Amino acid sequence: MKITFYGHACIGIEVSGKHILVDPFITANPKASHIDINTLQADYILLTHAHSDHILDAEAIAKRTNAVIVSNYEVAVHFGNKGVKYHPMNHGGSWQFDFGKVKMVSAIHSSSFPDGSYGGNPAGFVIEGEHKNIYISGDTALTMDMKLIPMRTKLDLAILSIGNNFTMDVEDAIIAADFVACDKVLGVHYDTFGYIEINHDQAKKKFFDAGKDLMLLEIGQSIDL
pLDDT tens, position by position, 139-163: 999 999 999 999 999 999 999 999 9
Answer yes or no: are the C-beta atoms of 50 and 23 closer than 8 Å: no
- Greatest alpha-carbon pair distance for the chain in Å reads 49
Q: Given this model, what pLDDT does residue 60 score? A: 98
Question: How far, in Å, CA of 69 to CA of 85, rounded?
Answer: 6
pTM recorded for the entire structure: 0.98
Neighbouring CB atoms inside 10 A of 154's CB total 10
HSE, side-chain direction, 13 A CA sphere, residue 149: 34
Low-confidence spans in the chain with pLDDT less than 50: none
Q: Give me the sheet containing 44-46, strands edge to edge.
A: 85-89, 68-72, 44-46, 18-22, 11-15, 2-5, 222-224
Q: Given this model, what pLDDT does residue 130 score? A: 84
